[in-house]
Amino acid sequence: HRCIFDRKFSHLEDLKAAQLETRPREVQTLLQAYLSHFSELAGGMVNCGSVLSWMEMDNRGHRLVATDDSGINTPAIAAAHVIKRYNAQAADEISLQVGDMISVIDMPSAEDTIWWRGKRGFEA
């Protein structure tokens, strides 16, 4: 995978709360530059559907409701773009297609396991 939120790859600066407490025009300029660079990095990988899915919202801006024991309620810590197809081989795995956007919800150390936990749409 290629993590589009990894700052070593993206070179997107870490926005501090103090930067967002300035005048509205300065915040608008800062966010415009930030999102423009993010858009260049992500290219066609990010569309309305993947953004809404990652934010767990519908197309009208309403929060999606899921059961408390569902993995969909776990907040994402990163996002990844699938670059190789994978077919699920167990009940706790999800199949992935090239181009899918995955919300990563757990990234254990390589010593613990080679697997990460993630969600794609409503599959976790």
Task: List Cβ neighbours of 51 (8 Å cut-off, separation of 6 or more).
Answer: none
Task: Give residue 31's pLDDT band: very low, low, confident or very high (50, 70, 90).
Answer: confident
pLDDT of residue 40 exceeding 60:
yes
Over range 105-121, report the average pLDDT. 82
Q: What is the pLDDT of residues 3-25, one digit of tens each?
A: 656 777 777 777 777 677 778 88
CA 14 – CA 76 distance, rounded (Å): 17
